[in-house]
Structure 1
Amino acid sequence: MEFAVNIPTSCGTSEYSTLAFCEDISWEKQRDFSVKIEELGFDGIAVPDHLMTGDGPTTECLVTTTGLAGITSDVYLYPKTINNHLRHGPLLAKIAATLDCVSDGRLKLGMGAGWKEDEATAYGYEWPDAPTRLREMEETIEVMKHLWTETNVSYDGEFYTLSEADCRPHPLQDPHPPIMIGGGGEEFTLRITAKHGDVWNYWGSLELMKRKLSVLSNHCETYGRDYDDIQKSWFARCIIRESDENVSELLDSAPRFKSENRDADQNHLVGTPEEIIAEIKQYKDLGIDEIVVEFVDFPQTEGARCFAEHVIPEFD
């Protein structure tokens, strides 16, 4: 099983903020935290893609990821999840190919259709309906694969028209960086994953994930795709300490993570190492083989250290 850590790009008091111990985001905090994450032995670092979240600064995903490429050497780099509608697909292919080269082949590219309309309209983007955004994302993925593996690419689609486009240098990874598709839409997103994705990522309770995986399996049958060829990934926020008393202290500062404050379909990793190990084993039994965690005590590293020392060894 692989373990990646979310590197926050924003924080604050809005409903989207889940970082109880961070007043604002800075490159220095992201940098120092990421270096420690690699030292602790995690497999990857993930970076969200937003323009405006929280009520303070928000750092841009791809620039942040490139900066992290320069200060790390082993972890995979995981833009998670690119809001496709905010990027011109062929240009994103060029950026991703270059980032894979710059990072010595460590890119794992997360793709999504976006959900946060207010940040898009604030920046002057039109915001089409979800089916349109999903078709656009699917076409982006098709175009990227052509550009990453061919030269002089011509393409005539609904959203993009290319005429002998050259995306060299191609990515170092053969045939291209793995593409993660994020989201739980059963009619569109999971179908696109079955057809085009190398990885699928979502969040939620065991029952919710079980249902989504069943739908994904059905879509794989439709396309003649081997279900086992797709890596299944789960995202969770994490509060971990070695004693129940210390966990309770953290929950007093971050009450939204108390069990009574969660919706039925939500789930987080909250507790002692033993409790979290037991929780992860249930997801592993579902077929989940990547866990992406965001430590609520960021930019502190105590939670990450505790997780690395006590949880990860149980899944080696």
Structure 2
Amino acid sequence: MSELKFAYWIPNKSSGLLLSKIPQRTDWTFQGNKRYMQTAEKVGFEYALFPARYFNAIGEEQLEPITLASALASVTEKITLITAVHPGLHHPAIIAKMVANLDHITEGRAAINIVSGWYKQEFTGFGEPWLDHDERYRRSEEFIEVLKQLWTEERTTYKGDFYRINEAPLKPKPKRKPPIFQGGNSKAAKEMAARVSDWYFMNGNTLEGFQSQIEEVKALAAKEGREVKFAANGFVIVRDTEEEALQVLRDIIDNADEQAVKSFQEKVKQAQGMWSNSKKEDLIQYNDGFKTGLVGTAEQVAERIIELKQIGIDLVLTGFLHYEEELQVFGEKVIPLVRKLEKQVNVLS
């Protein structure tokens, strides 16, 4: 069994990863993210995910993902850069070209995360049509099909409901076909992952919940003659004792930005979004990251990660309160413990 991979959320937004007023030692600027990525490479992270947001819940500032990834590409050597893209706000041929360029800059370290969209204002605010939930996933699937053709075929002709491409070239091709990630909890999202995506991102969940999703998507992919890899999101709080870690979690929840959480909750319900049934304390970390249970001592978190691997998860996507120190702590304390436990599990199996 191959080693579990580790990724982290790029903190490219001035409010960090939390809808909470708790102080965060996290720098969202280019210089801050340069430090974090170079640290992440040194301590064992293989992937970094660049989120995209254009209309923000509490007026925070955010750096655009592809341009930020391109800048960070020049100061890194190993880490794979996953940039989020919204079909409907971008044309797939232009994104195919941009990501192919990024793949050349990084010598084969570019990847893409297709975000079908849940935030209506990001589309209507830019004068773009707001599609029904399943139609957004249909558009995303066509978007991915166009990407793949442009990356692999000499000339692309595509006649879809959302995109039309006529004998379009793309040169240079990527060094290797960039991996395609996507998320979503709905039936439409799972079916799309089974047909066209390489990786299926799952938001925070219980072990049983993750296992159910994995089994469902695996079965759907098998019908298509395909295999999909699985990634799980989890917000990490590692402290010297379990009680210290749990207290930090309580502090985050007790200091929730109630107005921002309520606004976010209303928006996802309006869009039939993946967090429509999430509780308030989960929405504070708006990818349900607390549910995954990566809270405790380094040993407890490492053991939990092994449990995730044992149910079929291939990559753990992490987020932190204080990036200034916690990204490095995770790499130096948790990842080595995971590697040690992986070897023990492999010997026993």
- TM-score for the superposition, normalised by structure 1: 0.88
Shift of 1:28: 1.9
Shift of 1:305: 2.1
Q: In the alignment, which residue of structure 2 is the partner of 1:310?
A: 333
Task: Give, in whole Å, the separation in 2 of the partners of 1:114 and 1:260.
Answer: 21
Contact 1:20 1:254 in 2 (8 A): no
Shift of 1:122: 2.7
Task: Give, in whole Å, the separation in 2 of the partners of 1:19 and 1:96.
Answer: 36
Q: Is it true that 1:294 corresponds to 2:319 in the alignment? A: yes
CA offsets 1:88-143 (integer angstroms, 9 cap, x no match): 11111111111111111001221121112223333333221111111111001111
1:268-287 aligned within 5 A = 268-287=293-312
Q: In the alignment, which residue of structure 2 is the partner of 1:77?
A: 81
SS at match of 1:275: helix
The one-letter code sitting in structure 2 at the alignment partner of 1:194 is: A
Q: In the alignment, which residue of structure 1 is the partner of 2:159?
A: 156
Task: Give, in whole Å, the separation in 1 of the partners of 2:158 and 2:282.
Answer: 46
Task: Give, in whole Å, the separation in 1 of the partners of 2:22 and 2:126.
Answer: 25
Q: In the alignment, which residue of structure 1 is the partner of 2:189?
A: 189
Structure 1: runs of 5+ lacking an equivalent:
none
Task: Give, in whole Å, the separation in 1 of the partners of 2:137 and 2:13.
Answer: 25
Contact 2:102 2:110 in 1 (8 A): yes
Distance 1:155 1:266, change over 3 A: same
Which of 59, 63, 68 is equivalent to 1:59? 63
Q: In the alignment, which residue of structure 2 is the partner of 1:224?
A: 225
Q: In the alignment, which residue of structure 2 is the partner of 1:238?
A: 236
Distance 1:314 1:2, change over 3 A: same
Structure 2: runs of 5+ lacking an equivalent:
257-278, 340-349
Shift of 1:218: 2.4
1:69-148 aligned within 5 A = 69-79=73-83, 81-148=84-151
Shift of 1:249: 5.4
Distance 1:116 1:256, change over 3 A: farther
Task: Give, in whole Å, the separation in 2 of the partners of 1:142 and 1:166.
Answer: 15
1:30-69 aligned within 5 A = 30-53=33-56, 54-69=58-73
SS at match of 2:291: coil
Shift of 1:76: 0.8
SS at match of 1:296: coil
Contact 1:11 1:18 in 2 (8 A): no
CA offsets 1:239-276 (integer angstroms, 9 cap, x no match): 11233464255335423699994589933411111111
Contact 1:3 1:292 in 2 (8 A): yes
CA offsets 1:209-262 (integer angstroms, 9 cap, x no match): 12211211221232233xxx3211111111112334642553354236999945
SS at match of 1:85: coil
SS at match of 1:311: helix
Q: In the alignment, which residue of structure 1 is the partner of 2:292?
A: 267
SS at match of 1:21: coil
Q: Is it true that 1:5 corresponds to 2:22 in the alignment? A: no
The one-letter code sitting in structure 2 at the alignment partner of 1:151 is: E
Distance 1:71 1:23, change over 3 A: closer
Q: CA RMSD in A?
A: 2.7
Contact 1:11 1:17 in 2 (8 A): no
Contact 2:233 2:318 in 1 (8 A): yes
Contact 2:20 2:252 in 1 (8 A): no
The one-letter code sitting in structure 1 at the alignment partner of 2:66 is: L
The one-letter code sitting in structure 1 at the alignment partner of 2:198 is: D
For these two proteins, the number of residue pairs brought into alignment is 307
SS at match of 1:108: strand
Shift of 1:71: 1.2
Report the identity percentage.
27
Shift of 1:291: 0.5
Q: In the alignment, which residue of structure 1 is the partner of 2:262?
A: none
